[in-house]
Every structure is written in C-alpha cells, then in structure tokens.
Amino acid sequence: MAYVGKKPADSALTANDLANGIVSADKLASNAVTTVKVNADAVTKDKTEFISDGTAGLEIKGDGSSVDGYIQLNCHVNTHGVKIKAPPHSAAQSYTLTLPSSITNDYFLKTDGSGNLSFAEVPQPTTPTVADVSQTIAPATATTINITGTNFSGIPRVEFIKTDGAVTTANTVSLTNSTTLSVNVTLAAGNYYVRIELENGRAARSTNAIITASTSPTWSTSAGSLGSVAGNFSGTVTTVAASSDSAITYSETTSVLTNASQANCTLDASTGVIATTDFGGSSTTATTYTFTLRATDAEGQTADREFSLTSSFGSTGGALFN
C-alpha cells in the first residue's frame, strides 16, 4: 500500500495523525464508514449540521417493510421517550406541517388544511338558557307549550321540577329553532321550574318556577239576573261565588255595580258579598243595572260573568233576589 507523506505507526490512526480536512468525501469509498466503525456518542451535535436546500435536511426512513419512520424525543435520563411517527404507507400521504410564528397561552394547535399550524381558542360547548316566561296550563291534561331561551339544538331532554322536588319529563319535545322548543307535557297541579339538557350534556334551569298547572276559576252563581232590590235599600244584597284550586278574588270589570251614580254597591273581593247603604243612589225609578264580575285565582287565571240587579220602588221590605 502506498502512503502519501509519513508512514503511520503500526496501529489505528488517531485524530493526532490526521490534519484538519485531510479526510474528505472523495477519500472514502462508498459505504466505507459503517456503524461498527463509529463509537457510541461519537457523532455529536457539533459534528452535524443538517441544511434544507430544497430537500429535507434530515430524512427518517421506514424499514422498507412494515415499520414507518419516526423520531423519538427522550427524557433527560433517556428512560422514556415520545415518538413522532409518519402515517402508514397505505395512507399515501406527503405533506408539510409548518409551526406557528408565536405561542398563545391556553390555545390549541389547528391546521388550515394546507399544513399551516396556528394556535386557536378552545371552543366551549354550547350551553342553553331558559327564558323566565310564565305560563299556566290545565293540570292532569297533556298540553303543548312553547319553551323559549337560547342555544337550543338537537332534541333536548326537558324536565319540569315541581317546587317540592318532584320531576316530570316531557311527553314529547321538538326543536322549532335555536330559541324555541315545542313541548308536550302532563303535569299535576303545582308550580314548576323548567330544566333543559342538550345532547352534549350541557343544561340550564329557569331561574323561577315558570310553569303553573292549575284549574281556572269556575262560577257557581248563574249568569243573569240576581233579583230585584228595593230602591234605597241598605244592607247585604246578595253573594256571588266562584271556585278554583286556589284562593279566589272578585272584582268588577265594568263600572256599574260599584259606581255611586248607578247601582251604588260594594263588592267584597274576598267573599263575593255585594252590599249597599243606598241601592240605586239618587235614582227614584226602577232601573236594571247590568255589570260584569271577574273571578281571579292565585295563579292569575280569570273567569268573567255578566249579572244584573233591578231596583224597585213603591213596595216596602228588604231586598228581593233570586
């Protein structure tokens, strides 16, 4: 073997035997430097500098059979590692992921579909709201009502929570739009909160008990004439009555019975008693007074009925009524 320069010692060449730059690529035969010729940890970061010049500066290949290429990032003692791996050959994918130019706290990485990554705010699941719109329905009767609010979607679960804690689930629910649900429900008498749970598990409940199941007032006193009353009579004229599943109050919707210039009576709001200190007031002729009374229950439901009283003159005695 010929040598250029001084013949080396009969031992392996060391770094001291080689001048800088003497071993160049054209001095090495193809595949001459094998794994066994390189000490562990001999190739350090100072010896490597991968440059991308239109092609990948570093390429990690698969094994040509079944193992896809990947890189592994180890912990500081090299006992654990996290791998970034290429998709399988069957996916036939070749794309580039470009990292964002800056970092945003509490955001996540997303791609624009072209491989450009950016940080985006984590989307929050849609949460509904229930509007505090009061409604009254008949008890023990399947009734369809509209529940309003915001962010409705899919077919939510709708529950009616009674003030005593009892829960009734809607018979049927249909989505009208994002702010309205059409709900059919059968409720026992009482007051109810409304709870709506979306398919994503997010739920909301009305702030107040907005649904009341209650029977509307009904009159037990027949409509029409309540009888004749002597003009200028003083005392109790008659009593009207209505009932409901809650307390009833009475009022006049016209201005006849309790008008001092007409029938000149009073109406007890709690008992329905009609009384007077001078029936008909200054009137001296027989007159029929027609008026409308309203029964209102504790839930605000009403029932109106028309009645009449007639004054009479020329007779003695007290009030006369049917």
Class of domain 218-312: mainly beta
CA-to-CA distance for 83 and 301, rounded, in angstroms?
70
pLDDT for 50? 76
Instruction: Please report, to the nearest 10 degrees, the dihedral formed by the alpha carbons of residues 49, 55, 58, 61 taken in order.
Output: -160
Q: Return per-residue pLDDT of the chain as tens, 322 residues.
A: 555 556 666 666 666 666 766 666 676 777 777 777 777 677 776 677 778 887 877 888 999 999 999 899 999 999 999 999 999 999 999 888 899 999 989 888 889 988 899 988 888 888 999 999 999 999 999 999 999 999 999 999 999 999 999 999 999 999 999 999 999 999 999 999 999 999 999 999 999 999 999 999 999 999 999 999 999 999 999 999 999 988 999 999 999 999 999 999 999 999 999 999 999 999 999 999 999 999 999 888 899 999 999 999 975 444 444 4
pLDDT for 322? 44
Long-range pairs of 289-292 with CB within 8 A, sequence gap ≥ 24: 289/256, 289/257, 289/262, 289/263, 290/254, 290/256, 291/252, 291/254, 291/256, 291/257, 291/263, 292/252, 292/253, 292/254
**Residue 1, SS3?**
coil
Does domain 129-213 bear CATH number 2.60.40.10?
yes
63 conformational bin, left if phi > 0, alpha if psi -120 to 50, beta if neither: alpha
Q: Where are the domains of the chain?
A: 90-121, 129-213, 218-312
CB-based burial label for 117 (10 Å; 0-12, 13-18, 19+)? middle
